[in-house]
Structure 1
């Protein structure tokens, strides 16, 4: 066997080799056909190997493969940017196209800072950000600083920016007090954010950044009604921006193209990625709201940031094709319909399991949180590796279903979840296959 040259997640532990993908299935070199109930990392929202996307990629290759966006533009970039702004009803005015969600977050941090430098001089002192614990916004140093994932931050703490502070996430399963109404819970979280503004100095804060619907570090937690609106009210009170990270939850995953459409709030800046290009090409985007876009237009007239592959023609053409398929195949309605069926089956089949503490989600974005005791909600110690056990058990030939593991949801260290995030075009039969497979895996891990 040849030396293992790839730097794997576990350095010398080679993961299963995928030799073919089609529809919802991944075929391994040893003959397994794994149902991809996670879309990789909630990315492959059309499933695998859609010929319409491949045709669009080849057509773009026949025209032009690469240009440097600061010098030139291409029709595909103009088309996907126009689609994105129009999809917000014009609330977001400009689009900056990058190659990943992390890059979109980096751009959002820079854009938020630059916005205040475009205003009168007293605003230049704004250099701070407020984010949430048990959050994830990417793995570069800037985006890592914004995130609240303890394990991913740990060894890099000495070299990441110290201008970000963190408040509580919106996590009713663990943090809502007994007898507390949704309104009272939202008011408490809003007060905590207000207190953090006051602690660091309200005139020093550029933005509050949050996932519209939490990803793997908390596990598909929908915002309590009114929560994001209340957070924006705090930001508006102090002139700060609201940045919503929809890298995982956006572009249809929760049943609407933008997750914030269900929250009665419009962000000042928004990031998208995974469902934008469905994994056929690396692409992400920063959507810039009216307030920020107009400040730049009236000020320097440019964004002090660029990247080699921004607005990549092939990635843009890919995203255009993916979004047309989502529209033409009426997939957002299917996400809502099959998402409701997935919720029903998960709760019927696993809601009573002694180690399934919570089942939560929206659209085709669901998580199961595992506990040692359902009454006390005591999490499993991180050393037991429960989420990873569930994931790896699912890949075995007797189950052949892939889910996304997550750890640290309870307190940043302990607490395990798995996410289920299948393709937008799944059928009722597919949903039944997923739930049957996940139930078998959980019964195997928790005999």
Structure 2
């Protein structure tokens, strides 16, 4: 019988030295990868919540081939192209006309960078030498890995090293995270009011006339683990921004385009942003593509100035990626897959909560649509995270990829305070059926039980 520290040292050695190199995917079809050694692995995460229609979709593949036979690249500074125009029109229409323009870009990080630049340019066009240079974001958020996006994000393990490079005109307020941050006896309404006052106080601290925009994920993904904003929260945040003339940016790179069971995550609350970013599901894994959606207020501001957004990228509105994204979105629409994401998401959540809420590793199971997370804690009451040296989230992901478990699980850390805390996400493709959800839950539970068998003697000191 050894001490906790002795057992932990041995366990860490086994974890660090015993992990295999990343396997090579040979092919993929539907919900499954086939690896070079013949192992079939179930994709329960869509990568990073990307593969909304599964792998090997013939409709999208044929659309890509058709575009290959016409034009694959046309610089937007010289030419427009039909796939880009059609995709932009489709995106605007998907908002019910609430947004009026779409700018087609590359990665999600690029879309966030563009959103920050556009927000600043909007005010600069209206008032030359505008004092509005400050951005407010939230702790426990993630917006991308380029410098601007990294500056407004808050995953400590990804930002700390680069702090000397980050923007100095960004400040952060609390997220809407009722499971961790609501006080004892506090109602949801009182909690939302407290967060609204915190944002108001930050405006006042900075000087309301200096705030350019507040950027928020309507549903937080990686950083906190699928945290859904309480009813009334987004409206309260927008009221503060509107009162002071600032813009509100919704980052829906991870949670948008049907992932939450609504076409856009903001539709659950009926709160329309000034600027919105989308990605991941946009290309569905068939193209590296994102977009920025803009409402009339911002467009009118640009029209009063020089009439254009000062921004350009080499692969902006590339015909081939636009054709792939358009085919992906049309497939989702034609097959009513957003509704399927809502229905199957409700079932997935119920099954996860039934089978995992009482698990000794688990603190909380939460989510919406086909976007669910399991946060791991030592104690469900205190919500204390597990010792980070146990490396639980990565251990779960690695175990899932072993033969006999055969499932992709998206691991993440920092849910407790930015550094500490383990969580994992499940974001299966929208094509899942009830039997697929059952199989996902069965495999996840098997992984969790196996990892608990590993660490239970360690944490109990046996």
For residues 16-31 of structure 1, what are the structure 2 equivalents within 5 Å?
16-31=23-38
The structure 1 residue matched to 2:46, chosen from 29, 39, 47, is 39
Q: Secondary structure of 1:194's partner? A: helix
Q: How many angstroms does 1:88 deviate by?
A: 1.0
1:230 is aligned to 2:236: yes
Contact 1:364 1:420 in 2 (8 A): yes
The structure 2 residue matched to 1:445, chosen from 432, 445, 451, is 451
Give the alignment's TM-score, normalised by structure 1.
Answer: 0.96
Q: After the TM superposition, which of the residue ranges 328-337 and 242-251 deviates more from structure 2?
A: 328-337
Tell me the equivalent position of 1:401.
Answer: 407
Tell me the equivalent position of 2:426.
Answer: 420
Q: How many angstroms does 1:13 deviate by?
A: 7.6
Contact 2:280 2:290 in 1 (8 A): yes
Q: How many angstroms does 1:382 deviate by?
A: 2.3
The structure 2 residue matched to 1:368, chosen from 361, 367, 374, is 374
Contact 2:126 2:304 in 1 (8 A): no
Q: Secondary structure of 1:446's partner? A: helix
Contact 1:354 1:374 in 2 (8 A): no
Show CA shifts across 1:247-286 (max 9, x none).
0000110011100000120000000001111010100000
Tell me the equivalent position of 1:203.
Answer: 209
Give the alignment's TM-score, normalised by structure 2.
Answer: 0.93
Provide structure 2 residue ranges, at least 5 long, that are not aligned to the other structure: 1-16, 454-462
Tell me the equivalent position of 2:311.
Answer: 305
Tell me the equivalent position of 1:4.
Answer: none
Provide the C-alpha distance between the structure 2 equivalents of 1:44 and 1:87, rounded to a whole number of angstroms: 19
Q: How many angstroms does 1:298 deviate by?
A: 2.2
Provide structure 1 residue ranges, at least 5 long, that are not aligned to the other structure: 1-9
Q: Secondary structure of 2:250's partner? A: strand
Contact 2:275 2:292 in 1 (8 A): yes
1:120 is aligned to 2:139: no
Tell me the equivalent position of 1:284.
Answer: 290
Q: Secondary structure of 2:338's partner? A: helix
Q: How many angstroms does 1:160 deviate by?
A: 1.2
For residues 286-435 of structure 1, what are the structure 2 equivalents within 5 Å?
286-435=292-441
Contact 2:228 2:367 in 1 (8 A): yes
The structure 2 residue matched to 1:82, chosen from 89, 99, 114, is 89
Q: Secondary structure of 2:109's partner? A: helix
1:51 is aligned to 2:28: no
Tell me the equivalent position of 2:256.
Answer: 250
Provide the C-alpha distance between the structure 2 equivalents of 1:118 and 1:165, rounded to a whole number of angstroms: 24
What RMSD, in angstroms, separates the aligned Cα atoms of the two structures? 1.3
For residues 123-162 of structure 1, what are the structure 2 equivalents within 5 Å?
124-162=130-168
Contact 1:382 1:408 in 2 (8 A): no
Contact 1:194 1:234 in 2 (8 A): yes
1:273 is aligned to 2:279: yes
Q: How many angstroms does 1:374 deviate by?
A: 1.6
Contact 2:258 2:265 in 1 (8 A): yes
Count of matched residue pairs: 436
For residues 75-114 of structure 1, what are the structure 2 equivalents within 5 Å?
75-114=82-121
Q: How many angstroms does 1:118 deviate by?
A: 1.3
Q: Secondary structure of 2:126's partner? A: coil
